[in-house]
Amino acid sequence: MSINQGKPELLILRDISAQFDTVDHNVLFSSLKDRFDLSNKVMEWLRSYLEQLSQTVPVHGIIFDVQLLLSGLPKDSVLGFLVFTIYTRPLGITAQ
């Protein structure tokens, strides 16, 4: 509508998929504890969910040691997106 009225518009698109990899689990849990009134059960469940994230590197069909990840969120899950949104909330980004 603004364009039709001759008003300037600005659209910024950014691929945030790599940013999911930068979520520090310890910072996330500290933030959740400080800002939200989550029960211990919920915190334990979320912690166990994230502490099971792992990475493997196959080379010529051989899978080497499984490495547990200390940061990052699954990008292909609703929970990953929700937790990322909560994690970035202090940045002042809000949907309007």
**Using CA atoms, how far apart are residues 19 and 91, in angstroms rounded to an integer?**
14
Out of 30-34, 35-39, 46-50, 78-82, the most confident range is: 46-50
**Using CA atoms, how far apart are residues 19 and 75, in angstroms rounded to an integer?**
10
Q: What are the residue boundaries of the structural domains of the chain, listed by start?
A: 23-90
Q: What is the pLDDT of residue 96?
A: 44
The 10s digit of each residue's pLDDT in 42-67 is 889 888 888 888 888 888 888 878 88
